[in-house]
Amino acid sequence: MGRWKPDARGRLEQAAMELYTERGFEQTTVDEIAKRAGLTERTFFRHYADKREVLFGGSSALESLFADTLAGLPSAVTPMAAVATTLEAVAAEFRERHAFARQRQAVVSANTELRERELAKLASLSTAVADGLRRRGVKEPAACLAAEAGIAVFKVSFERWTASSGRRDLSTYIKETLAELKALTAGT
């Protein structure tokens, strides 16, 4: 085993993604993930609560990143510009994660329960963004609507990026999709 081994968490993630892709999420057990990673079940549970958390474990960090970025912007920034800047900050987190994101998207898409979980996570993100905008003094319905529109842009951009070769980064897709939304709504 001469090749470089990433840390335990990284090895578990990699093993899990391989198995979910090869056999499907349902058919994979925690024991198999640990074995493939050359680790024990106990080590798995030190890093993840269950096998679903390998796919969704990053979502609370993402929610905090949205909230913190919104809170740190000058008060003069308009609601949609604040959402755009926040999406860029989030995109930066995914810079080295195209292979993982692509594989994850395929696993989630293939399973109804995981797709519903993903929708629930996106809905909490939207709530977090709306909360952040209200704390910036944005009134309703602008806060909820800017948040929903922002998450729609994020969802479409993320799907385009994961379907791509990864040569262009997520932030490029976000910029394009935001511009597209502006053009679409201007035409009504």
Assess 109 for contact with its own copies (CB under 8 A).
Answer: no
Select from 6, 120, 135, 168 the one that contacts its own copies (CB under 8 A).
120
Select from 36, 58, 152, 172 the one that contacts its own copies (CB under 8 A).
152
Q: What is the DSSP string of the chain?
A: --S----HHHHHHHHHHHHHHHH-STT--HHHHHHHHTS-HHHHHHH-SSTTHHHHTTHHHHHHHHHHHHHHS-TTS-HHHHHHHHHHHHHHHTTT-HHHHHHHHHHHHT-HHHHHHHHHHHHHHHHHHHHHHHHTTPPTTHHHHHHHHHHHHHHHHHHHHHHS-SSS-HHHHHHHHHHHHHHHHHT-
Q: Which is nearer to its own copies, 2 or 74 (by Cβ)?
A: 74
Assess 175 for contact with its own copies (CB under 8 A).
Answer: no
Select from 33, 54, 146, 174 the one that contacts its own copies (CB under 8 A).
146
Q: Which is nearer to its own copies, 47 or 52 (by Cβ)?
A: 52
Least separation, in Å, of the C-beta of 29 and its own copies? 25
Least separation, in Å, of the C-beta of 152 and its own copies? 4
* Binding footprint of its own copies on the chain (CB under 8 A): 78-81, 84, 115-116, 119-120, 123, 141-142, 144-146, 148-149, 151-153, 155-156, 159-160, 176-178, 180-182, 184-188
